[in-house]
Structure 1
């Protein structure tokens, strides 16, 4: 190799290596200062794509856990209102039982009616005041009137990431309306039953709806008395209910007197049609008439008080069912929160393994690059001095 000054290969080679070392040193400093192994796509393109997906999942799960907590708060708020609703209904039932006793005079029954009316007003107030973030929960308006509220408890946009809370059965406003002005006795057609004359045989019932007549003839109805006769109205009603032809189109309930003894039956058409009042083709059944119905709950007579007990029992059962459903969904929310937190923890760990810097390992690389940088700088200075010998040739 000749003695040259225009091209200093040693200096160029040293500069190239020094430049590479400086890049490594700069990269190590960036990773050590940020704590991230991947600061740009060039660091690890595939790793960046995976880590960004994991970041989306972790962020979504963090918010989803808060959503589930909000869901718990909503159902707890709703149950608080239902708990008091049930207490009110229990008190109303106690009053109805009290009113069923004829030892009460008119003033006593009026006092009972006054308290029940006030309790009904309180049910209405509860239905309109039980709300979460301005959303009424117990008046049937939740979810745009459907009574269903959806909660996003997952990070994705699929059905598995949502839990739906159904509050349609927790409509306290409807309960108050039913008790104040609804029908508490079964409508339909009432037939008196003379058990001494009802014997084994068939019976035909008809109803009319929209100009269409529906007729059903039962099979042979038979009681447990002599010759297949019926011992009670209840036994006759049971025989009708057990007949497949009858029960497919009609329903039957028993009318009772003040002593609880059956006096007749009330037949209703399941399609809502008007049941023919003409006596069916069965001995012992008189001509039918419109079944009496009680509007709202009244306590002016023992019979009305009994009807009120039945009506209140139905509402207590409805509230109990709604509370059971709310309790179940609250437990579901709690499990969803636990699952979400575990998933968030595991995904965060996975993201960390991809993106976070191993500080000890990176410090080793930084120390190496730093030493090489200093050595390279010194060698570049030596390489630049290596051609100084040419000057001795020029003297």
Structure 2
């Protein structure tokens, strides 16, 4: 039997997670099909995904009508819908979680994005989400803002598994790993079994190219054009170098000895935005042992259909990756400026999606109240 590209990716140490979730996927069996046929071993969600799912059709009408009859607020209604979908997805992935000792089979749910700058609010909501979903294989997603770092440590210290999201810069990624290791140190002091605490660090890829390519086009020289489409992969490859470095320290060895598992790098935003680039660019160029690639279905299908997996394409590329970022700086493309802008824009997009979702569900609740 011919090995598929997604099987080859899995064999190379890449866990494939789907960047999407909806009631339709759960009820029709299409998510189970992706597990069975395309090596999908986890799911990530975000405010934009839930907005698309809840407003796409009639799947949630009955729940919204029931919540309207109860007199539930819009926030309570959305909380109930999203935690139910995530809990059901956790059940679907439970066999994968069991087979991998909880490393895979994970489903992520994000704290309200409006809390991204509120440490205490993030901690409180993370605990509430964890208690409500009430599944061992859930990941609570927390943005890697400066305020989020402290929350990440505090939530991990409670024995709760965390997906750290919206990481763009290498400096912030170092701070995320520090927050993770601090959280595990506190969890150990609190008597938690470290082998049961899992974490991924979601490093965003394609958006880096989108912003940098725009700046390279504005420069317009041949030298600038030659660097298009290279920054996203280079940045992610250097993140893997940071991962290798910080998970081979004496500090980490002490935690590993106590049963801790490393926080895996997760490649997010892996759908190609520029049609000039191969549609599997952010998959086949970021193959390395122990990483996760969370893909929109379009990227997953492209990879399954024609992805060329040649083994590890990350380790050993660090000098070339550094040269790419150095060349961009020489042309006047500021790395620090780009990553700061991308974090700000990423948060703004999630907050905007959440506000749209609140408005749409508020409207649906009002309609349901009138109908009853």
TM-score range, shorter chain: under 0.3
Higher relative contact order (CA 8 A, sep 6+): 1
Give the TM-score taking structure 1 as reference length. 0.25
